[in-house]
A and B are shown apart, each in its own frame.
Chain A
Amino acid sequence: MINKTVNNVTKALEGVHDGMTFMLGGFGLSGIPENCIQELVKRDVKDVTCISNNAGVDDFGLGLLLKKKQIKKMISSYVGENAEFERQMLSGELEVDLIPQGSLAERCRAAQNGIPAFYTPAGYGTEVAIGKEVRDFDGKPHIMEEAFKADFAFVKAWKGDEAGNLIFKGTARNFNPLMCGAAKVTVVEVEELVKPGELDPNFIHIPGIFVQRIFQGEHYEKRIEQRTTQS
């Protein structure tokens, strides 16, 4: 077995430095790599580019990096829950590239799968298409979107084994599996790290080949943005 485990988050983030591009899994606050984000805050890495569907909220998730002005550029699809984000964007302190959610997902998947670019109808005729190649297929216009390039991917899974095989839970899956192997180094934090053989190979979502480092995370807060219950 090729063992992918590292002892802790400090080891997991070795080699991270200023100016790098990171991918971070999660949708809203669901399935975000809480331990890795805390460590990025602690290390105070600056001028980073973050590829993440959302930007957290003011005091949690990527909002913590925003507050410390560690982020130079955000590549996201929806950033509506964060007042500090909006302030930094409108004042020009923060560079923002907003792209359709499906294109964001597919650009991760393309990077993971060695596909340099693809065509999609999403965004044709809008601001998103500016500067991009347009090509008709079956009489319908599509725009070309390119695979992302990133230095580190920070991923949160539910369970993982020492070989780096991963299982995700519920809608906390979202972008996490697509970012595995989509950056030069993929770091995965799991709620439960187990020995090989404890996970059924039939139910592995991501094979360990896409993972370089895995560790068991601690103190998951799993904050809920919109707690909605039956009245």
Chain B
Amino acid sequence: MLDKNGIAKRIAQEVQDGFYVNLGIGIPTLVANYVRDDIELEFQSENGILGMGPFPREEDVDADLINAGKQTITALPSASFFDSALSFGMIRGQHVDLTILGAMEVAQNGNIANWKIPGKMVKGMGGAMDLVGSAKKIIVAMMHTNKAGDSKLLKTCSLPLTGVECVTKIVTNMAVLDIVNKKFRLLERAPGVSVEAIQKATEGDLIVEGDIPEMEL
């Protein structure tokens, strides 16, 4: 079974040379730590920076330079700043190549829910609906089950939706899956995790074809 860093490490393998990438809050943020050195890419943060660099040293902290998670950041020499409409123009116009974000639930038709638990938690969708509504490729980074042990990979989402039929790939602490013909398809197992264990933790329909390899991390 993987931890959060393990999930990020596996997702980093999906990033290709020349990609513009938007990372969501949480596990997706960790992906930046694991991208191979020979890959050239730029990170976009939807509050208005392309070419986001690492966190600053204490003496370089600038209140006018933050990411979408409101964390202080730095700007790379290749960076640019822009307003929020142009930022979402990059997203809606499909200029951003890859979106990596977290989820509370994913359904086997590609629906995703990650912004609201009615009566309990209402933080808002931020940029998530714009991102999933337009992205060319969306990878969901999340735990396979919630804290109560219930599957987060479902036949249908029970929570209010963020987007419909949009998720293309899911990387969890147990497996890598994609979505084909409105079903989950198992592609890889996390080290030491059996197909049976993944099946048990997946409420939605799961396609298992042939031998399922272990992830190479």
A-to-B contact residues, CB < 8 Å: 27-31, 53, 76-81, 86, 89-90, 96, 98, 100-106, 108-109, 120-128, 158, 168-178, 205, 222-230
Specify which of B58, B71, B125, B164 is in contact with A77 (CB 8 Å cutoff). Answer: B125
Does B134 lie at the interface of the complex (its beta carbon under 8 Å from any beta carbon of A)?
A: yes
The residue on A at minimum CB distance from B165 is: A125
B-to-A contact residues, CB < 8 Å: 45-49, 54-58, 61-67, 69-73, 75, 81-85, 87-88, 91-92, 111, 116, 119, 122-130, 133-134, 160-164
Complex contacts, A175 vs chain B, CB 8 Å: 83-84
Query: Are A122 and B134 interface neighbours, CB within 8 A?
Result: yes
* Known contacts A80-B124, A229-B58; is-contact A123 B64 (Cβ 8 Å): no
Complex: how many Å from CA A169 to CA B62? 11
Specify which of A30, A103, A105, A126 is in contact with B70 (CB 8 Å cutoff). Answer: A30
Specify which of A103, A226, A229 is in contact with B130 (CB 8 Å cutoff). Answer: A103
Query: Are A230 and B55 interface neighbours, CB within 8 A?
Result: yes
Query: Are A126 and B161 interface neighbours, CB within 8 A?
Result: yes
Complex contacts, B129 vs chain A, CB 8 Å: 100, 102-103, 122-123, 126, 128
Specify which of B46, B57, B72, B122 is in contact with A98 (CB 8 Å cutoff). Answer: B122
Query: Are B55 and A229 interface neighbours, CB within 8 A?
Result: yes
Complex contacts, A53 vs chain B, CB 8 Å: 84
* Known contacts A78-B123, A226-B69; is-contact A101 B88 (Cβ 8 Å): yes
Complex: how many Å from CA A225 to CA B70? 6
Complex contacts, A178 vs chain B, CB 8 Å: 83-85
Given A126-B163, A128-B125, A171-B81, 8 extra CB contacts under 8 A: A28-B66, A100-B127, A104-B84, A127-B161, A178-B83, A222-B64, A224-B63, A225-B70
* Known contacts A228-B55, A230-B56; is-contact A177 B83 (Cβ 8 Å): yes
Complex contacts, B124 vs chain A, CB 8 Å: 76-80, 98
Q: Name the 3 nearest CB pairs between A and B, nearest first.
A: A102-B88, A80-B123, A102-B130
The residue on A at minimum CB distance from B132 is: A122
* Known contacts A28-B66, A126-B163; is-contact A170 B81 (Cβ 8 Å): yes
Complex contacts, B164 vs chain A, CB 8 Å: 124-126
* Known contacts A27-B47, A228-B72; is-contact A101 B127 (Cβ 8 Å): yes
The residue on A at minimum CB distance from B161 is: A126
Query: Are B48 and A171 interface neighbours, CB within 8 A?
Result: yes
Query: Are A30 and B56 interface neighbours, CB within 8 A?
Result: no
The residue on A at minimum CB distance from B63 is: A222
Complex contacts, B162 vs chain A, CB 8 Å: 126
Specify which of B57, B63, B69, B133 is in contact with A122 (CB 8 Å cutoff). Answer: B133
Specify which of A79, A105, A120, A229 is in contact with B72 (CB 8 Å cutoff). Answer: A229
Complex: how many Å from CA A48 to CA B87? 29
Q: Smallest Cβ distance from A63 to chain B, in angstroms?
A: 14
Complex contacts, B81 vs chain A, CB 8 Å: 168, 170-171, 173
Complex contacts, A27 vs chain B, CB 8 Å: 47-48, 66, 70, 84
Query: Are A122 and B72 interface neighbours, CB within 8 A?
Result: no
Instruction: Name 6 A/B residue pairs within 8 A (Cβ), A-sorted.
Output: A31-B64, A78-B126, A100-B129, A102-B88, A174-B83, A226-B72
The residue on B at minimum CB distance from A125 is: B164
Q: Smallest Cβ distance from A228 to chain B, in angstroms?
A: 4
